[in-house]
Amino acid sequence: MTILVTGATGRVGRQVVQQLVARDAAVRVLVRDPSKADFPAGVEVVQGDLLDIDSLRAAFTGVRTLFLLNAVAADEFTQALITLNIARESGVERVVYLSVIHADRFVNVPHFAVKSGAERMIQQMGFSATILRPAYFIDNDLTIKDVILNYGVYPMPVGGKGVAMVDARDIAEVAAIELIRRDQAPGKLPIETINLVGPDTLTGTAVAAIWSDVLGRPVAYGGDDPSGFEQNLANFMPKWMAYEMRLMAERFVGDGMIPEAGDVARLTRILGRPLHAYRDFATQIAASAA
């Protein structure tokens, strides 16, 4: 049966599509602008979005399994609830949902609360589902590489408790494995939740030390200042979103993003290989800048 992928043009979604195609799955994607979509041969493209009821219904025709990824947005919760309702109405029973680690604990952060609510809806509607809960994306730091390289500062306020940063490639591959497992199952499987973490739980100081090592020159940690983080972000994103990112950073600093016992071993077993490490990412960036 066909697997529908939403959020397919983003960092994770695009790689989910590639992983599914590599595993010979029948894939359909829902995208706003097909002219900007560049997918492997055989991927079916439907134009629309998660609030376009007609396009959603068309996209779900003949689909058994859904990968639901919807990005941080002012109407994120509405997008998720509408999509899940249309999925259920269309006969879709199997879902892999990209949530976030500690969604049930960090509920003062809007997009965490949204994902916690969507998780509850998935459970109460009786889907056969895998809920994926990724920690902070390693790839987020692509946006600050110039600050690191040019100013010798690691500016993300990730705090001193530790954040188990995860690579988008690992997220996508686990998602694809779970989508195919759900899609090919002869019957309904129980709901499972998987924390998606990296192999190392890193503090801000530890991340700066990695950069110092791979660059061969000092890189300092910019410190635990979520308010300054908000002010910087407000220069290039909506103020409500910058404030939300501040709230998230406050949870980094106050609580960290700590994996549970066995998370790394479980992911290594699912993937059949080691997880990508932050040092590998930093080494690649350093080499490309040399």
pLDDT score, position 216: 97
Q: What's the rounded mean pLDDT across residues 166-176? A: 98
What backbone phi and psi angles, to 5 degrees, belong to 263? Answer: -60, -50
pLDDT score, position 35: 82
pLDDT score, position 71: 87
Residue 138: pLDDT over 90: yes
Name 195's bridge partners.
133
pLDDT score, position 201: 97
Note the pLDDT tens digit of each residue in 230-261.
999 999 999 999 999 999 999 999 999 999 99
Both structure tokens of 51: 């609030």
pLDDT score, position 132: 98
pLDDT score, position 38: 86
pLDDT score, position 108: 96
Note the pLDDT tens digit of each residue in 216-228.
999 999 999 999 9
Name 65's bridge partners.
3, 94
Determine the topology of domain 2-136+166-196 in CATH.
Rossmann fold (3.40.50)
pLDDT score, position 63: 97
Q: What's the rounded mean pLDDT across residues 169-183? A: 98
Sheet holding 2-5, edge to edge: 44-47, 26-31, 2-5, 63-68, 94-98, 128-134, 192-196
Q: What's the rounded mean pLDDT across residues 255-277? A: 97
Q: Which residues contact 281 (CB under 8 A, 6 or more apart)?
A: 138, 139, 141, 167
Name the pTM for this structure: 0.96
pLDDT score, position 34: 85
Least confident residue range of 20-24, 71-75, 108-112: 71-75
- Short-list 47, 106, 115, 102, CA closest to 76: 115
Q: What's the rounded mean pLDDT across residues 127-146? A: 96
Domain positions in the chain? 2-136+166-196
pLDDT score, position 16: 98
pLDDT score, position 290: 76
